[in-house]
Amino acid sequence: METLTISLEKVDFLPPNRVTDDTSVLTLKNLVFEPLLKWESGFARPALFESWGHSADGRDWHFVIRDDAIFHDGKPAVADDIVGFVRDILGAVDTFGMKWSYARYLANARITAEGDRVVRVENPEPIADILDIFSEFYICRLDQQGLPVLGTGRYRVVEFEAGKRAVLEKAGEWSGPRRIVAFAQRHADARYEALRLGTADAVLNLERTDERIIFDENFAWGKAVNTLSVMYYLNCQQGIFRSPEARLAVNHAVDTALVAEEIFHGLAVPSSTIVSPFHLGAARANLAPIAYDPARARQLLDQVDASETVRLRTPTFMPERAPEVSRFVAAALEAVGLKVEIETELDRPEYARQIGRKEMGDMAIFDSSPHSTYRILNDKISSKTKAVWWQGYDDPQIERLIEAANRAIDDDARDRAYARCLSRLHQNPPWLYLVHPVDVFAARKDIGGLSIDHKGTLNIY
C-alpha cells in the first residue's frame, strides 16, 4: 500500500523526557521510535535492546543495543544516548507537574555506558523490575528544529504540525505502507464520520463515541481490552474505608457488569484486582471479579459505623464517562444503606494533584494506567513506600508479598510472586474495582496488516 491515512484523537510527539499512556501518542511513538524493551502481557521482549543479562543476585544488569540501530538522521544509537535519555526522564515531571516515580525506583542505581553497545545498571538491591521500567522508555532525539521526532523506528517523520497532522515515511525495507498520514480529530464521532466519508482509511478509539457503536459490516473492526483500570481510590486513612469490611462491601455493592454494559456500551470488562488480566501475575492468579451481592454488602456494612455521609469525588473526564459512572456508583451505594454526596472537580490537572496530596474525600474515581504490576504496587499500594498515589492502605501481609516479589528475579518467579500479591488484593481490596475499557478501531475492508494491542496502540504492518 502506498499511503495509509489514519485519524487519531491526538497527533503529537512529546519531549524526550515525557512518558505517556495516551493511545494516539503511543500509536505514533511505536511507528517512529523504539522502546528499550517491548512489553507483552507482563513480560519483556527484545526491542532497541536485542538482549540482556544479569548477575545471579539480580543486582547487576547489562543490556545490549542491536547493532543496526540508527537514528533517522543517520546517527548510530549508542549507549551514551540511552544513558543520557534515561537521566533526563529521571529528572522530569509529568503532565500534571508531578515528579515521575522513576527517579524513586532508580534512586540508588548506577546507570553507565560500557562502550557503544552496552548499558549497565547496578543497584544495591535486586532490580528485575528494571525490565518493566525500560519497556516504557522510547528513545527519541530532537532534530535541528528542536522537534522530538528523531527515532530508530520503522518510520521517519517528514512533516509534523503539533496537534494537527504528521506525515511519516518508511525508513527501511520494512513491511507496511510506504507513507502514513495521521491527522487529529478530537471527537470519536468525527473520526468515525471521516471513515464513512473516505477521508480516513483507519480510525482509532471509537469506543469513545457518544452513542453505542453499531459495528457496520462495511468496515473491518478490531478490539482489545485495555490494561487501564477504571477504579475508585478508597480513603484508607480516615473515614469508613479504614475498615476492610467497608472496602469489601462497596465492591459487592456495585454491579460492574452493568457499568460495562450500560455506561461503556458493552465496551468494557469488570475488574477483579488492581491490574488487568494482561499484567504480570494476573493470568496465574486467575481471579474472577468480586461478585455483585447487595445482601452481602449490607451484612458487611452492619459491622462498621456507616452513619457519616460518604464524599465521592469525580472529575468530568479521565476516566472516560466519569460523571455517569459516579452517579451509578452513588446510587448503588445508597441502595445498600450508605449516604453519598458527589463532589465534581472541573479542573482535571488539579484533581490529580489533589489526589496526590491525599485530598480525596472518602472515594475518588481515577484511571490506573501503568502496564507494570511492579509500578502499581510501588506507587499505589505499598505502605512502605507511601508513594504519591498511596491512599493509606496498610496490610502487613501484602507488604511481605510485595517485598518477596521485588526480590524475585526470573520471569516465572516474578509471575508467581505477583500472582500472590494480586490474590491478596482481591481478598482485601484497597480500591473499588470497576472495569477495564475495550479499545476499538475501524478500517476500510481492503486494508490488511492492522491490529490493536492491550495498551490501545494501533499496530501497522
Q: Locate 328 and state its grid cell.
A: 451509578
Give the pLDDT band (50/70/90) at residue 249. Answer: very high
pLDDT digits (tens, 9 = 90+) for 268-285: 999 999 999 999 999 999
pLDDT tens for 224-245 read 999 999 999 999 999 999 999 9
Distances 327 to 92, 255, 313, 323 between C-alpha atoms, Å: 36, 13, 11, 6
Q: Is the alpha carbon torsion for 18, 443, 181, 177 positive or negative?
A: positive
Amino acid identity at 343: E
Distances (CA, A) of 164 to 2, 318, 331, 443: 22, 22, 41, 20
Determine the average pLDDT of the residues in 132-161: 96
In the chain, the percentage of residues whose pLDDT exceeds 70 is 100
Return the residue matching grid coordinates 543476585.
Answer: 57
- Using 50, 70 and 90 to split pLDDT, how confident is the model at 91? confident
Tell me the three-class secondary structure of 33-51, residue by residue: CEECEEEECCEEEECCEEE
**pLDDT score of 157:** 98
Hey, what domains does the chain have and what are their CATH numbers? 1-33+140-214 (3.40.190.10), 35-139 (3.40.190.10), 229-438 (3.10.105.10)
pLDDT at 21: 87
- What is residue 397's predicted lDDT score, i.e. its pLDDT? 98
pLDDT digits (tens, 9 = 90+) for 400-417: 999 999 999 999 999 999
Is 80 exceeded by the pLDDT of residue 314? yes
How confident is the model at residue 93, as a pLDDT? 77
**Strands, DSSP E only, in 75-228?**
110-114, 118-122, 138-139, 155-161, 165-170, 179-184, 202-204, 219-225
Give the count of alpha carbons within 13 A of 297, CB side only. 22
pTM over 0.85, yes/no? yes
- How many CB atoms lie under 10 A from the CB of residue 345? 18
- For the chain, the first-to-last Cα distance in angstroms comes to 11
Instruction: Judge whether residue 364 has pLDDT over 90.
Output: yes
Mean pLDDT value of segment 39-59: 96
- Mean pLDDT confidence for 149-169: 97
pLDDT for the residue numbered 82: 97
Residue 97: pLDDT band (50, 70, 90) is: confident
Is the pLDDT reported for residue 101 higher than 80? yes
In the predicted model, is pLDDT for residue 41 greater than 90? no
Q: Strand, coil or helix: what is 257?
A: helix
pLDDT of residue 173: 86
On whether the CB atoms of residues 438 and 207 are closer than 8 A, the answer is yes
Rounded to 5 degrees, what are φ and ψ at 84?
-65, -40
* Element of type H or E holding 355: helix 348-356
The answer to whether the beta carbons of residues 191 and 183 sit under 8 Å apart is no
Give the pLDDT confidence score for residue 358 in this predicted structure: 94
